[in-house]
Structure 1
Amino acid sequence: MQDEQTNRLPENRYRPMGELIRGIFFILFGLFAIFAEKLGLGEFRISRQWMVILGIALMLYGIFRVYNGIRKLFFNRN
């Protein structure tokens, strides 16, 4: 039993923080894709409909990353 505890690698806290930060960036990129043309911050060569779809996909992926990071940081206790 003690051998199992000593052979475990120390828990890495930087990876979940990286997931949180990446998730926030993906959410921000998604918001930028949706609202950039409305705010006059950029003009894209693809249609508005595809930019909204891309923005929503980026935001959903970002929410997934944030959820994973929070789950690993706070709720994955052994």
Structure 2
Amino acid sequence: MEMQDEQTHREGRYRPMGELIRGIFFILFGLFAIFAERLGLGEFRISPQWMMILGIALMVYGAFRVFNGIRKLFFNRN
């Protein structure tokens, strides 16, 4: 029984860590969407205004994931 509780506790810490990592990736994709064309890393077929909107949306979603992961990882003590 005690071993099962320890395994459940350990698995419960992987999910917030995954959220944190996914959030960082979304922030990086948002930065790429905003700055890739300006830095010569790629050309996109949509207007720069839409790429800016997409980049900002990705970064906001990533920041939400990072915040949620940090909150669950460090501040959700049971």
Same fold (TM over 0.5): yes
CA distance in 2, matches of 1:10, 1:39: 46
- TM (norm. structure 1) is 0.87
Identity among equivalent positions (%) equals 85
CA-to-partner distance for each residue in 1:10-48, whole Å, 9 max, x for gaps? 331000000000000000000000000000000000000
Query: What's the counterpart of residue 55 of structure 2?
Result: 55
Structure 1 runs (4+) deviating above 3 angstroms are none
**Higher alpha-carbon Rg:** 1
CA distance in 1, matches of 2:44, 2:25: 20
Query: What's the counterpart of residue 8 of structure 2?
Result: 10
Alignment gaps of 5+ in structure 1: 1-7
CA distance in 2, matches of 1:35, 1:10: 42
Query: What's the counterpart of residue 33 of structure 1?
Result: 33
Which amino acid in the other structure matches residue 24 of structure 2?
A: I
Q: Which has the higher helix share?
A: 2
Q: CA RMSD in A?
A: 1.2
Q: How many residues align?
A: 71
